[in-house]
Structure 1
C-alpha cells in the first residue's frame, strides 16, 4: 500500500498574474508549498498530489516562512526582511535591532519570523512590532543549516547538511539557550537540505536540493528530553534543483498520512499522483483488521504487506487459482460498525488495468460487520496466467471506480492465478497458505553445542500444485522468511526432493526471488540426471542481511532491538517438465536442510563447504554429503544413506539420546534466546523426544517465557 512521485513540469510565466494580484496576500492557508530557487524561479509543490509546477518571478528569496495570521510569506532578500505578496513581489520591512547578515535558514510561527546566520546566531522577529531579539548566541551557531522549521509546539528543528537532526531550546535567556539535542539521521552523501517545514500534525518534511530526494519525519517528540524520531524516504521530487528555501502554511495537514492505499502495480491506479485508490483509515469500517495509515502508496513489488503487520487479509479465497468458466467464492471479513459497500474488480485479460467492461465483478453490495461469502464468475475467455490482480474496495458510500478517493473504508489488492479447463490445478499448502511452520537448526553438527536451536530459524511453508483430475504433481511453491540467526558460521539453505530426479525440473521456468532479487538458477547441478533434485535458495544466508547486535546475530538477544526490522524473505517457484505421479515418500514439507557456506571453516581444519549438510531427524542427505561425518562427534546416525528417504527407513541426524540437530515446528514459534538450551526453554520437549513423538506433541506451546525471543504477535 504505497507509491512513487510522478510530477508534471508546466512552465508558467507569472508576469500577468503579478500585475493583476500585486500586493495581495495568498489564500488563507494554501496546501501548496512554494519552493524558491537561486534563480528567479518558484516551484509550486502540491505535496499531497506529489506534483511540482515551475514559474518565473521577479526576485529570489531565502529564509522564508508562511504567516498564517496575515497570509503573507516573509523572508530575506539582500540581507533585508521582506514581506512577499501573492504575485511574488515584496515590500522591504524596517526591523529594529536586526543586523544585516547572511541568513540561510528561516521559518514563521505564531506571527514571528525566525532567522539563522552561521557563526552569528538565531533571531526572532516580531512581525507585528518589527522588533528583533537574538535567541541563540554566535558561539553555538556553527551548524551548516540551509533551512529550519518550527514545530506546532513552537520548538525549532533543523536537519543540517551533515545529516544530523537538531532541536533548539530557545525558551530561556540568550545566555542559556542552546541546542538541546543533536542526533545523526543515518542519511549519507553530500546534502543540501534547503527545504524544511512542519505540517499541522507535527510531521517534518525535508527536501535535498542536490538530489530532489525528500524525507518525512513523522513522530518527533518536542516535549520529551530524549528525541524519538522515525523517517520515511520518499521518491525524488522534480523542479527542486538550486532550491534555497520553501514556504508552506503549517496549519494545513499533509494528507499523505491517514489514508489506506492499494498495492497492485501502478498501472492499476495505485499511487496518489495518478489519483490512485485510497480511503480514510477509520475504526468504523474496514476489511479484516484495521489497516495501518500509509505515508505513501507502496505498490508491487514494494508493497507494505509483510509478515509483520500485513493488513491485506480481509478477503480470503477458497482456492488460490481461478479456473476459466468456473465460479469462485471469496469471503469478506468486515470490521467496524458502519454498513459498508463492497466493490471488486479483476483484470481478466491481464492488461494491467481494471477498465474492461466485464472486470467490475462485485458492485456495491451492502455488508454489515462479520464474514460474508460472495461468488465471482470467471469468464470463459479469461487469460490463463500465473499472476493478474484483483482489487476490493469497502466504502461507507457506494463507489463505482477502481481509482480515486473514497470515504471511510479500505482498499485491498490481491494477485491471482487463472488456470484453464484442461489443466485445472489445485493447491495443497503446508501448513496453510496464510501461515508458516518453523525450521530451527543447530549448525555445529556433528558436534554438540548449546542446543539453543536459534543458529538458523526459518519460517517455512510449501504449496504443492496438483492436476485436479489426475492428482499428478506439476509445480511447487516454497516461501521462507529468516526469523533468527544466532550462528557464527555462514550457512546456505536448500531443499531435497526425495523421489524426484533432477531431470524432472523445468529449469527454464523455475526461479527464486530473495529480498526482491530474481535468481533463475535454483537446481543444483547433479552428478547424474537421475540423482534426486536439490533446490538451492542460497549458498550463504549472511549475504542477504546484516545486524548491528552482538556478533552480528539476528533476533536472539532480547536486549538488542537494532535488528527488529532486518528481513530476509524468499519465494521459490518450481515447475516440472511434465506432471508426475506423486512420489510415495515425498514429505509434505519436502526435505529442507542447511549446509556450510563456501570458504566457511565451520570448525574444521579446511572448509567442508557443500559436503556438510544438516537435515531434519530421520531425513536423508544428498549425494554431495560427506558420509564420513556420520557417526562422528555426537552424531549417532544408524542409517543415513542417500536413498533412505524413498525407502522410508532413515535413522539419521540424532545424538545418542535421540535429540535432533534440526526441528520442524508445525506453527509459528518463538526461538530460545542465545545460550538457552531448548530443553530449558521448552521443558516438555524432553518428553516428546523420549517418547519418540507419542506424547507431549504440543511441547512448542509451553515455553519458559524468560528464555525465548518473542517474535509472534499475540
Structure 2
C-alpha cells in the first residue's frame, strides 16, 4: 500500500480537553521538526519520503510563531515533547491535533534547548518516562513525565554536565540499554550514561563527506541508530545493536537521502521497526554481499514520490516496485524485469575503456559502480560514473576499466536520479525518485600491445608494387590490440585505433587479420569458424555499426574495419588530403573499436598476439592503377614487411611489369624493395608523419639505414625528424 500520513493515524481529542489526545500507535515513520516557524513532517526512513503532517502548529490554541526543538517521542503515553522557543520559552507536549500545551517546568536556565529525547524505563504497566534536554555550557537536565502533568514539574540538573567537551545537535536513547548516543559534526560518536552522568567517546565515524550539524537522531527497535545531516539531508545508519559499545567499532553507512534544512530536529518511537510501507520502491538485486538488503542500507528508490505516475525518472522502458529487501529475497534469485536500461557495447577489459548505451526516461543524472576486484563491495574507488548528466533516450558513455581488474564474473550497479540530491549518492542508501539497476557482468584480464594506454603507429604507402612518392602518409593511424584472457586461455580480442592522416589519392580500406607470424615456419591464427560473430561489437567514432566486420567466405578471421577510409575522414576546407598538408593538420581524428569474442577459449600458445596483421586493401569500385584493371580490387593488399598476404590476395600482382617490389614467397619475403624498404611500417610510438610528397628518407635521414639493415641500425630513426618536412601535429 502507499504511505499513509501520520496524521491519519491519530485520534482527535475532544475540544474540551486540557491536553490533546495521544497518537494512536507507535508509528514506523520518524517525526522531523523543521524551520524557524515549526513545521512537522513524517519521514519514511526506508524511502526518504517526506510527508507534511502539519504546516503549522498551535500553542495553547494560538498560532505558533517560532521554532520547536529538542523533540522526543514518549511511547509510554504516545505524545511528543519538545522545547518551544516562542517567548516565554517552555517545555511543550504535542498531541494528535498538533497543538502544543505548555508544561510548568521549574529549574531550567533561561536558554533555548535544541537537543532532547525521551527515556522510557521499566516494563508495562510499571513504566516511567523522562524528558532529557541538553545545551552546551548549561548541561543536561532531566524532566519527569509521570503523574499529573498539569502540576509543576521540577527539572533536575546533572552537575558537571555543563563542562562536557563536545558540540552535539541531537541525541537519542537506545531502546534496550537506555544509553544516550550523539554524534558531532566531525563524526565523533559519543555514548552518554545518564545514571552516572558520564560520557564515553566511541569512535570517529566516516560520514561520507558530510559536515555541519547532525540535527535529528533516531533509534529503532533493533538498536539501529539513524542520524540526519542538516546540510545534505543524508541519514546515516550506525549499528548499535550491542549497547553499551564494547568489543567492536561501529561504522556508518548512508541509509537514506532525506530533506535538508538549516533547522532540523527529530523524534521517533524507538520501539518501532523500520520497515517497507510503500510498493513504489525499487530495490537493487545484486547478491546480498553487495549490501543490497534493507538491513544493510541497500540501494532503493521511491520512484513515484508524488504518487501521481508523472515525470518519473528511470532507465529503460519501465520501472516497477518490488519488495526485495531481505537476505531470503535475494537467495531466491529474483529477476527484476525492469532492469533494462543499460546495454553493454564492449567488454570490460583491464586497462581498456568500455562503452555502454544507457536509455533514460528523461534528462537526468547517472551514477555507476563496478566491483573490479570482486570482493562484493562497491567501494569508493570503484565509482565508474559519478552524477553524469544524461539525456532522454539513448546515451553513449565510456567507462575506464582499471588495469588491476580481475577476470571473472562480477556485478555493476547503475543508479539514476533527477539530480536534486544535495550531495552525490553512494552505491547504497535510499533516494526519493529514480531507479537502481544491478547487472552481472564478465570482466577480463588482458595483455595489450603495446600497452593498455599507449599506441603504435601504422603507416602505409598505397602505390605498391611501385615506390610512388614514398611519403608514408597514405594512411597513418594509432593502433592497439588486446587479447582477453580467462583462466589462462584467450577468449577474445579487441582492436582499436584512431586515424591521424590520410594522404592517398587512391581509395583504400583497412582490415586486421587475427594472425601472427612468428617466423617463416610458425604462424598463429584465429580461424573464422572460431569467432562468435553474433556477439562482435563494432563502433566507429563511438557510433555502433550494425554490419558484421568479419569478412565472409574466408578461412582466417579477417576484420574489415573500413571498406573505404575516405568515407569516414573529413578534410578541412581548402585541403586536398586529411592532416598531411601544411595548414591542414588539425582535422578531427577518426576512432574505431572492434571487440571479437571467440566461441571457445583458445590456448595461449596457439593464439596470435602483438600487432596482429593490420593491412590496407583496394576499395571496390575505385580506380587503383592501370595494373589493376583486370584484377579483383580486393586482391590488392599491403602488409607490414615480410608479413604474408591473406587468402584474398591476387598472386598475379607479384609479377607486375616494372614494379619495385622484390617479394619472394618462396623465400618468405614480402612487401619490400630489393634494398629492403617497406610499403608499410609499425612505429613503436606516436609519430610525426611526412608532409605530402616528402619522401620519408628526406623527412627522416636515418630511416634508410634502419630499413636496409633489417632494423639493426638507427633504431630510433623516428625520433629525429626534419621538422620542416613533417606534420608536427601528427603525433597528437
Name which one, 1 or 2, has greater alpha-carbon Rg: 2
Q: TM-score, normalised by structure 1?
A: 0.42
Q: TM-score, normalised by structure 2?
A: 0.41
